[in-house]
A and B are shown apart, each in its own frame.
Chain A
Amino acid sequence: MKSKLENIFLLFIFILLTRNSFAQDYLKKQFEYADSLYKNQNYYDAITEFKRLLFFDKYGEYKYQANEMIGLSYKQGAKFSDAILYFTIAEMNARNNDELLESKLLIIRCNILRRTTSHAIDLLTLLGNDKRFADEEKEIFYWKGWTYIFADEWNKASQEFSKTDTNETLSSLCKKVDEDKYSVAFADAISHFIPGAGQIYTGHYLSGLLSLGWNILWGYVTVNAFEANRVFDGLVVGNFLWLRFYNGNLQNAKKFAEEENLKITNKAMQFLQFNYAGLKP
């Protein structure tokens, strides 16, 4: 009889304890619920639910995952500064090197997207110097490549991607973009010697010819005025008309080169966005 009572008592204690062991299922369910909102692209509500999870997670079981998911949700909404804040909290709560690396890379990817290039490069350099991540060298080159793409430094991007072996596509694409781009300095320089040449170099033939024509006309009138000893005439026409068209020609040469470069890089970015299957920032 005593043994039976003892058994019942122990069983009761056991049930009580095991019930408590599974008690924090509510946090798991909350995580799954928040995660489902994230997967359904309902980022605002996902953030609310992850925040709720963090608020009620008294022992910090989900501190890493929930903060990372909040960061990812903010990142999806292009709120990069908020995303970085939460990735940083996730980083502080990382439980192993994999989680640490993941959160650090997410911070870097946000910096790439918001074009804080020097900060992204600094973080990648720090990561490269960290002995814990000695095996991740190629990953670091890969993200350095993306950093340079977003910084519009396609040649540097190509060099970084070429160090990763596996990213021949990206390396050659960046190289091609770099080759296709017009040199703004060259467009500016040739326009100094032959007005309109910069525009012609960037494919704006009509604008280039018009620019050349205006400069010849007002240049002729100015020179003519000086030759006829009409110095004041020459100064005013030269200053208000010739120089105005000459400066306009220089400005246009640079503007057109920059516009054409933007078209080239936008096309490449569009290709990367829709056709490149690898990991993107």
Chain B
Amino acid sequence: MKNLIIYLFLLTSFSFSQNKIPVRNINLFSPLNIKIFGDYLFCQKDYLRAIGEYQHYLTMASNDTVEFKIALAYSEMSDFSKAAEKFAAIRSNSPFYSDAEMELMKSLFQAGDFFEFRKNFQNVIGKNSTAFSKTISLYNFSFLLTNNPLPAEQEFLGAFPKEDLAKVKNFYEWKENPPEKSPVTAAILSAIIPGAGKFYTHKYADGIWAFIASVGFAYLSYDNFHAKHYFRGWLFGGLAAGFYAGNVYGAAASAQIYNAKIHFDFVSDLKSFLDARNYFLPKFKFCK
């Protein structure tokens, strides 16, 4: 009886001291736990740590999903070269092989490696109809980002869904006739009328100042020579020549800057368009 009371006391004291259901001792570094922790990190978008866990897991087990998710994690981190390398390493017997082929092309496209991208695209023609139908749009888009000749308009637009046609057509037309400004024209205009080249490149305030400075100093030079103030005449003449030369050079440079800006805006628009559509590829739902 005495023992029973002692045991009951110990029993109740230990049971209530926990105030919760006791948990089995677990190994946090077992392959399964590493994987589920990696999955958690992946869904938290903590991709670098998720990759670390997955790679640790792969040293102990083999898993096609994990291999694919490592590549996806690199892609999410915008490490496109590494993502391409990982997608390319997915084996042909993996259930993710077809997806990996498409994602590989997306990564190559995002990495700007259009040569490899097109090489891979040639490989899927006729071999993998899903990959081909999903990546043909991306293939056509690659022509908008390179200096290769564009395909015919009908052929180009044929790859896109109806709802995107108007926007894609705008991109196509922009690429066919980019609204660039010619540096030579800008320089010639500025040579004829100082500041005109800047007006041509939409830099109106710069154009007005270039005109005032060049013409103003030229007039001062003329006026001083006329009044026989030769030193001042030469001084202002030199300044006028400097401003004039700067105005011609500046106009050409301004045209180049203008062109660089419109190209940058074009590429940004294009990438935003593609990002919004996940590069015409399906999205994977590994996380709830």
Known: A11-B7, A21-B17. A55 touches B25 (CB 8 A): no
Q: Which residue on A lies nearest to B8, using beta carbons?
A: A10
Q: Which residues of A contact B25 (CB under 8 A)?
A: 23-26
A26 is contacted by which of B15, B26, B41, B219 (Cβ under 8 Å)? Answer: B26
B28 is contacted by which of A3, A7, A52 (Cβ under 8 Å)? Answer: A52
A23 is contacted by which of B11, B23, B49 (Cβ under 8 Å)? Answer: B23
Q: Which residues of B contact A48 (CB under 8 A)?
A: 49, 52-53
Known: A51-B46, A55-B37, A236-B220. A21 touches B11 (CB 8 A): no
Q: Which residues of A contact B22 (CB under 8 A)?
A: 17, 20-21, 23-24
Asked if A240 is at the interface of the complex by the 8 Å CB criterion, the answer is: yes
Q: Which residue on B lies nearest to A17, using beta carbons?
A: B14
Is there an interface contact between A52 and B37, defined as CB atoms closer than 8 Å? yes
Q: Which residue on A lies nearest to B52, using beta carbons?
A: A48
Is there an interface contact between A10 and B4, defined as CB atoms closer than 8 Å? yes
Q: Which residues of B contact A236 (CB under 8 A)?
A: 216-217, 220
Q: How many residues of B contact A (CB 8 A)?
A: 34
Is there an interface contact between B28 and A10, defined as CB atoms closer than 8 Å? no
Q: Which residues of B contact A51 (CB under 8 A)?
A: 37, 41, 46, 49
Interchain CA distance A48-B24 in the complex, whole Å: 23
Is there an interface contact between A232 and B14, defined as CB atoms closer than 8 Å? no
Asked if B223 is at the interface of the complex by the 8 Å CB criterion, the answer is: yes
User: Does more than half of chain A's interface fall in helix, strand or loop, or is it mixed?
Assistant: helix
Is there an interface contact between B28 and A24, defined as CB atoms closer than 8 Å? no
Find the residue from A52, A58, A230 having the highest chain B CB count within 10 A.
A52
Asked if A233 is at the interface of the complex by the 8 Å CB criterion, the answer is: yes
A232 is contacted by which of B7, B28, B52, B220 (Cβ under 8 Å)? Answer: B220
> From residue B39, how far is it (CB to closest CB) to chain A in Å?
10
Is there an interface contact between A14 and B10, defined as CB atoms closer than 8 Å? yes
For A202-234 the 0/1 string (1 means CB < 8 A from B) is 000000000000000000000000000010110
Asked if A30 is at the interface of the complex by the 8 Å CB criterion, the answer is: yes
Asked if A18 is at the interface of the complex by the 8 Å CB criterion, the answer is: yes
Interchain CA distance A191-B14 in the complex, whole Å: 81
Asked if A130 is at the interface of the complex by the 8 Å CB criterion, the answer is: no
> From residue B48, how far is it (CB to closest CB) to chain A in Å?
9
Q: Which residue on B lies nearest to A45, using beta carbons?
A: B52
Q: Which residues of B contact A17 (CB under 8 A)?
A: 11, 14-15, 22
Q: Which residues of A contact B (CB under 8 A)?
A: 3, 6-7, 10-11, 13-14, 17-18, 20-21, 23-26, 30, 47-48, 51-52, 55-56, 58-59, 230, 232-233, 236, 240
